[in-house]
Every structure is written in C-alpha cells, then in structure tokens.
Amino acid sequence: MKKSFVIRIDEETFKLLENWAQDEFRSVNGQIEFLIHQGLQKSGRMKKNKSTQINKSVDKND
C-alpha cells in the first residue's frame, strides 16, 4: 500500500526533475519513488529483493 504526502520543491528543481522523468519514460511521481528507492538501496537500508520488486512496480504504474 502506498502512502500519500505533500512535497515542496522549488520550481527550477521540479522542472529539472520533470525533464529527467520524461527522459526515462516515468511520471514525476514515479521518478521520485525510483530515486528514493535507489538511495535506500545504495545506503544499505533496503534489501535488494525488496528494491527490485518496488522498481518493477514503479515502472509498471507509470
């Protein structure tokens, strides 16, 4: 189950994020999820199997 929350970022950062998401065929929301999961995996805070399942889910839902 996914939780909803509000995030505030400046307009320029959002535009950069939006362009990046388009380059990777994701929504902005999907890109943010991907980056969070990638960071969690790199920091060792998320097991690799869980990360793989989530990344497939993010790609599928966009």
Q: Whole domain around residue 53: which residue ranges? A: 29-62
Q: Which residue blocks in 1-62 are alpha helix, DSSP H?
A: 11-23, 28-42, 48-61
Q: What is the pLDDT of residue 3?
A: 93
The per-residue pLDDT for range 23-38, each reduced to its tens digit, is 999 999 999 999 999 9
**Distance between CA atoms of 16 and 54, rounded to whole angstroms?**
23
User: Per the domain annotation, does 33 fall within a domain?
Assistant: yes
Q: Domains in the chain: how many in total?
A: 1
Q: What is the pLDDT of residue 38?
A: 95
Q: What is the pLDDT of residue 57?
A: 60
Q: What is the pLDDT of residue 61?
A: 57
User: Per the domain annotation, does 41 fall within a domain?
Assistant: yes
User: Per the domain annotation, does 9 fall within a domain?
Assistant: no
Give the closest residue to 34 by CA, choosing from 60, 8, 7, 10: 60
User: Per the domain annotation, does 17 fall within a domain?
Assistant: no
User: Per the domain annotation, does 43 fall within a domain?
Assistant: yes
User: Per the domain annotation, does 12 fall within a domain?
Assistant: no
Flag whether pLDDT at 39 surpasses 80: yes
